Amino acid sequence: DAGVIQSPRHEVTEMGQEVTLRCKPISGHNSLFWYRQTMMRGLELLIYFNNNVPIDDSGMPEDRFSAKMPNASFSTLKIQPSEPRDSAVYFCASSSAGASYGYTFGSGTRLTVV
Amino acid sequence: AQSVAQPEDQVNVAEGNPLTVKCTYSVSGNPYLFWYVQYPNRGLQFLLKYITGDNLVKGSYGFEAEFNKSQTSFHLKKPSALVSDSALYFCAVKGSSNTGKLIFGQGTTLQVKP
């Protein structure tokens, strides 16, 4: 298995532009998580899906952020419009159902908004 | 509410010495506990987990962790540190009644000096 695949690895964009981050979870995993990591705030859970349905989006910072999971093998996190304070590393992780399973993380997307 | 605390932002040890990275938790029901490691510019990698059974859990790269129910702790240990162990370490917990999200600690930077 190729693991959790995120694209792009790096994204540099200008303030005000739309940014779309992509994630392909491990086949058979039915939970998907989006995290943001910064030096100041550490690792923050933005949103998670179970069986393609958003379960908890309380971590999404504001309406500029949206996430979708149209099917079991694909999810997107969109920021529109982007701002410099959105600069961070965004991680996607997936997991099987059940409390005894941990997460498998992707390699992350490093977003820089200038 | 579930929570995880990693009381040390950074741990410094000399190569060859034993290391301990501390973690305490609060969760309803039986805890499922995890350690992850993050190397620079990489995603989080699973190290080990405690679900049930023996309180001493062995994981990847020679790491182990000891579950202590009375102290609600799950400290990460290694008998002899390597310079290559230098990384950011995260402790995480799920409650047995919760099939959803892991709660992560804020992370501890381990610095192993030659």
Cβ–Cβ below 8 Å for A91 and B43: yes
Q: Kindly report the nearest CA distance between residue A79 and chain B, in angstroms.
A: 21
Which helix (H) or strand (E) is A111 found in, with range? strand A109-113
Q: Is the pLDDT of residue A98 over 70?
A: no
Which chain B residue has the Cα nearest residue A98?
B99
Q: Kindly report the nearest CA distance between residue A47 and chain B, in angstroms.
A: 10
Bridge partners of B94, per DSSP, are B32
Bridge partners of A31, per DSSP, are A50, A95
pLDDT digits (tens, 9 = 90+) for B23-68: 999 988 888 999 999 998 889 999 999 988 899 999 999 999 999 9
Taking the C-alpha atoms of residue B8 and residue A32, their distance in angstroms, rounded to an integer, is 29
What is the count of residue pairs from A and B with beta carbons less than 8 Å apart? 55
Taking the C-alpha atoms of residue A48 and residue B42, their distance in angstroms, rounded to an integer, is 21
In this prediction, residue B30 carries a pLDDT of 84
Bridge partners of B57, per DSSP, are B65
Of A75, A66, A81, nearest to A29 by C-alpha is A75
For domain B3-107, give the CATH number: 2.60.40.10
User: Cis link prior to A81 (omega < 30° from 0)?
Assistant: yes
Of B109, B108, B111, nearest to B23 by C-alpha is B108
Q: Kindly report the nearest CA distance between residue A57 and chain B, in angstroms.
A: 12
Domains of chain B, by residue range, sit at: 3-107
In this prediction, residue B97 carries a pLDDT of 59
SS3 annotation, B68-108: ECCCCEEEEEECCCCHHHCEEEEEEEEECCCCCCCEECCCE
pLDDT digits (tens, 9 = 90+) for A49-94: 999 999 989 899 889 999 999 999 999 999 999 999 999 999 999 9
CB B94 within 8 A of CB A99: yes
Bridge partners of B14, per DSSP, are B113
Cβ–Cβ below 8 Å for A105 and B96: no
Q: Is the pLDDT of residue B98 over 60?
A: no
Q: Are β-strands A104-105 and A88-95 bridged in parallel, bridged antiparallel, or unpaired?
A: antiparallel
User: Cis link prior to A25 (omega < 30° from 0)?
Assistant: no
Q: CA dist B77 to A82, A93, B10, B20, B57, Å?
A: 41, 25, 15, 5, 10
Q: Is the pLDDT of residue A38 over 80?
A: yes
Residues of B with CB under 8 A from a CB of A: 32, 34, 36, 41-46, 49, 51, 90, 92, 94-102, 104, 106-107
In this prediction, residue A1 carries a pLDDT of 65
Report residue A109's pLDDT band, with 50, 70 and 90 as the boundaries.
very high
Percent of chain A at pLDDT > 70 equals 96
